[in-house]
Structure 1
């Protein structure tokens, strides 16, 4: 977050998602087919060349560019998980961005496709997925006890009185409770291949 919202400068939008994979369907694919689904070589993790990478690969559909052709990036991480007892296997995804627009565009391209591809092939290999969108303020926002009151248009709390002989010489004023900026975005189901229902984050 920058000058477009100076009261919350330094903060970030955070998308957290949990996907459950159909590992039987994935393992049934030959390695070459898996690489075309993702858009990367399986062992080296090297991205496929543009003339080889299918337009419906995950890499192709999640590459977002602006009007000038510059790629719009987010800070992201993806971690696999598994629970043998419940037979749940999949990935946790977390992405940080200045605006949720980039991540939402990626999700829209994955589930709804583009002119060049109907949709990402990975959703067809999922049991289900869900996620949440948060706004996280910067550390200095949380440390500044007067900022929430200022943003809410409330008077700033009185400064703490000095200690006299180890004791306060007046009653400590009650601080206004913090006011945090909350954003909520709904999700709706989107039909994909295999009669499976998934979530599109809008």
Structure 2
């Protein structure tokens, strides 16, 4: 029996050692013990020719990073989000931050679950900015003119998804403000709509 050293959830990048998909970063897969591009998805993260940015990629200020396939569908992944301004356009979605809710695991900022009566949000990976916005307040404004202040407690992961940690949901788009029930209520919006256009800024 060959014993391999435990990677203990270490994330390997291109050509790094691996035993399964969980050992590889982003959209890389484990091929012959090394992390590499997924030929089925056609990623070029390790290759010398990165995929061209999607049309209008420059204008949006954030190009697609790769693709994650799950449930037979391919989803774009992003490491970045559009630039933050005094009125940043975003899509407001609804998240259940409580234990057992559709948010998956506990909030990444504090490792805790939160009540949906709290005015809290998760931000797309680029806006979450490596946890640098944790605990910060943002101002969200709906098209009906109503605004609310909400605290950043979690990341809406634009790179990973389709696993238990992410409640088996696909990766977030790069322009998501994922708000609690309380945020939707304060804005006078119906959460059953699922997604609405808003703007946000740092408070």
Instruction: Give the TM-score range, shorter chain.
Output: under 0.3
Higher helix share: 1
TM-score between both structures, scaled by the size of structure 1: 0.24
User: Which of the pair has the greater relative contact order for Cα pairs under 8 Å at 6+ separation?
Assistant: 1
* Greater radius of gyration (CA): 1
